[in-house]
Chain A
Amino acid sequence: MIQLEGVTRRFQSAAGERVALDAVDLTVEAGQVFGVVGRSGAGKSTLIRTINLLERPDAGRVVVDGQDMTALSPADLRAARRRIGMIFQHFNLLNAKTIAENVAFPLRLEGRPSADVDRRVASLLDQLGLAEHAKKHPAQLSGGQKQRVGIARALACEPRVLLCDEATSALDPETTDEILSLLDQLNRDLGLTIVLITHQMEVVRRVCDRVAVLKDGRVVEEGATADVFLHPRHAATRAMLAEGEEAFDATTVPPGGRLARLTFRGGSTYEPELSRVARSVGVDYSILSGRISRIRGEPYGQLVVAFTGGDAEAAVAQLTARGVTVEQVGEAA
């Protein structure tokens, strides 16, 4: 659905040239929810803006739904943009217009007949639970409601792609959850392809099928969300994942223990695999850190354990045989 090929974007500033995107290649398949994470300044905003050409790349190609965006005439580009919805961190609603007028806005820009516009707006407001707010102005709504209006507006022209620019970063956790559920539902019900950029790893964990990690304008890691999150390969990914997590304290490792990170996925997450294996090979274990959660609905568990006494090698082999991924974390002191 979306292909970025060698997309490069440079900015000139007083301090000299800065490369915001450095030959980025990305492919987003139709129907995917694709996350791009990175710290501020990594180039996320620029990246998402190249998809609808709000930022024109200095080099490279942007293909959306088979159309080379960089090659379009201004009029064709405007038409192509109507098929790409976009929502924003600060909603960017028109304060002078009512909620219904805001949702109608893209349809009016397109020049659709009034009767069509009214029908479409009524159905969108209904679908997103905004019908009672139709005549209000944005200033009268909460952040979550404003983002719903933003989503209704983005969907007005029946886009095939939705771009989300830090769409939940200005919302409280509860509202974030609500908006993410809505995005998830739109993805499933309408088959909408969604690209979202965020610095919130939780957002990616909840809704993204795939994720790309951006650092200094380059994609340093990309893959299925579960793979990237459970087995991060790049230091930047690890650093972002480690944020807000309690790192285990190395001094708590029992002497002579052997450290391992165990990853359970899917059904095995809730099975007593570890204790079964420990009993059968006679090894003891201490759990040093752990987390049981879901990535896009798939349960997983990840534990760092120290095996002591008994045959740690045999335990590792048995766990692996049972479908648990075991990674060595390093020998204890």
Chain B
Amino acid sequence: METFFVNIDWSEIVRATIDTLLMLGGAMALTVVFGIPLGVLLYLSGKGRLAANPVLNGLLSFVVNVLRSVPFIILLIVMLPVTVLLVGTSLGVAGAIPPLVVGAAPFYARLVETALREVDKGVVEATQAMGGSTWQIVTKALLPEAMPGVIAGATVTAIALVSYTAMAGVVGAGGLGDLAIRFGYQRFQTDVMVVTVLLLLVLVQGLQMLGDRLVAAVSHR
């Protein structure tokens, strides 16, 4: 055992774990902040919905599709100048967050839109009949009713973000994935690879469990 873990610098692992968690936390928070309104707009502007608007819907849909079709590694590079403009640097955790959000928010928006579509139209109609405004319908009826789907979507997105953070090493963001590539893969330090992958596995498992529990807590079907 002692000889197997010979390459491991535990302080490095701890730092990489913290970097991954920071990237994930920061990017996820912003993904939710941008993804939910975007998802709501996609839903509301859709055909037959409350604020049906084919032009807006087509435009939003196009932007979302374009962003979703760009491979993340490319997005990371293409975004460099924008990232510098936004956060002053393209390096480190801060430099990784803008491309992570741009990569994940459109994906999450689609999941939010799908969750909203699952809500019975009758609920919207009933809220309208009770004199609810569009804002009230969205915030007090649609989103609470869609909450299980919105949370399940956030879980899927967070897990996708974990794998995105591994690529963020390209812009020197650090994190567990970066460690796995630089030491585990490029320097043939299998023990580093094993430990980082195990930590990522624990992270993903933890996220899934947390998500499932939250979904169960808000489901009343």
Residues of A participating in the B interface, judged by any CB pair closer than 8 Å: 52, 54, 74, 78-82, 84, 86, 88, 90-97, 105-106, 108-110, 137-139, 153, 157, 163
Residues of B participating in the A interface, judged by any CB pair closer than 8 Å: 120, 122-123, 125-133, 136, 140-141, 144-145, 147, 218, 220-221
A77 nearest in chain B by CB position: B131
B133 nearest in chain A by CB position: A78
Take A54-B125, A88-B122 as given contacts and tell me if A106 and B145 are in contact as well, using a CB distance cutoff of 8 Å. Answer: no
Take A78-B131, A106-B130, A110-B131 as given contacts and tell me if A94 and B141 are in contact as well, using a CB distance cutoff of 8 Å. Answer: yes
CA distance A139 to B120 in the complex (A): 14
CB distance from B76 to the nearest CB of A (A): 38
Take A108-B140, A109-B140, A137-B220 as given contacts and tell me if A92 and B123 are in contact as well, using a CB distance cutoff of 8 Å. Answer: yes
CB distance from B50 to the nearest CB of A (A): 12
Q: Are A96 and B145 in contact (CB under 8 A)?
A: yes
The one of B128, B140, B221 that contacts A139, using a Cβ cutoff of 8 Å: B221
The one of A74, A80, A109, A138 that contacts B127, using a Cβ cutoff of 8 Å: A109
B148 nearest in chain A by CB position: A96
The one of A79, A93, A94, A157 that contacts B144, using a Cβ cutoff of 8 Å: A94
Q: Are A94 and B145 in contact (CB under 8 A)?
A: yes
Take A78-B131, A79-B131, A82-B131 as given contacts and tell me if A92 and B125 are in contact as well, using a CB distance cutoff of 8 Å. Answer: yes
Q: Are B221 and A95 in contact (CB under 8 A)?
A: yes
CA distance A270 to B221 in the complex (A): 51
The one of B122, B131, B136, B220 that contacts A92, using a Cβ cutoff of 8 Å: B122
A79 nearest in chain B by CB position: B131
The tally of CB-CB contacts under 8 A between chains A and B is 67
CB distance from A54 to the nearest CB of B (A): 6
A136 nearest in chain B by CB position: B220
CA distance A157 to B130 in the complex (A): 9
9 A-B pairs with the lowest CB-CB distances in the bound complex, closest first: A92-B122, A92-B126, A137-B220, A82-B131, A106-B130, A78-B131, A81-B131, A86-B129, A96-B144
Take A78-B131, A95-B145 as given contacts and tell me if A86 and B140 are in contact as well, using a CB distance cutoff of 8 Å. Answer: no
Q: Are A109 and B130 in contact (CB under 8 A)?
A: yes
List B contacts of A137 (CB < 8 A): 220
The one of B129, B141, B144, B145 that contacts A54, using a Cβ cutoff of 8 Å: B129
Q: Are B136 and A109 in contact (CB under 8 A)?
A: yes
CA distance A108 to B129 in the complex (A): 14
The one of A74, A81, A90, A105 that contacts B120, using a Cβ cutoff of 8 Å: A90
The one of A79, A81, A97 that contacts B128, using a Cβ cutoff of 8 Å: A81
10 further A-B contacts with Cβ under 8 Å, apart from A88-B126, A90-B120, A93-B126, are A78-B131, A79-B131, A81-B129, A81-B131, A82-B131, A94-B123, A95-B145, A96-B147, A110-B131, A157-B131
CB distance from B117 to the nearest CB of A (A): 16
CA distance A188 to B127 in the complex (A): 27
CB distance from A92 to the nearest CB of B (A): 4
CB distance from A78 to the nearest CB of B (A): 4
Q: Are B126 and A95 in contact (CB under 8 A)?
A: no
Take A88-B122, A90-B120 as given contacts and tell me if A95 and B220 are in contact as well, using a CB distance cutoff of 8 Å. Answer: yes
CA distance A183 to B104 in the complex (A): 51
CA distance A321 to B218 in the complex (A): 70
CB distance from A93 to the nearest CB of B (A): 8
CA distance A81 to B136 in the complex (A): 14
List B contacts of A82 (CB < 8 A): 130-131
Q: Are B131 and A106 in contact (CB under 8 A)?
A: yes
CA distance A110 to B136 in the complex (A): 10
CA distance A326 to B126 in the complex (A): 47
List B contacts of A86 (CB < 8 A): 126, 129-130
List A contacts of B123 (CB < 8 A): 92-94
List A contacts of B147 (CB < 8 A): 96
The one of B126, B131, B220 that contacts A96, using a Cβ cutoff of 8 Å: B220
List B contacts of A97 (CB < 8 A): 144
CB distance from B132 to the nearest CB of A (A): 5
Residue from B122, B133, B144, B220 whose CB has the most chain A CB atoms within 10 Å: B220
CA distance A219 to B181 in the complex (A): 75
B136 nearest in chain A by CB position: A109
B141 nearest in chain A by CB position: A94
List A contacts of B130 (CB < 8 A): 81-82, 86, 105-106, 109, 153, 157
A-B contacts, 19 listed (Cβ < 8 Å): A54-B125, A74-B133, A78-B131, A78-B132, A81-B129, A91-B122, A92-B120, A92-B122, A94-B145, A95-B145, A95-B220, A95-B221, A96-B144, A97-B144, A105-B140, A109-B131, A138-B220, A139-B221, A153-B130
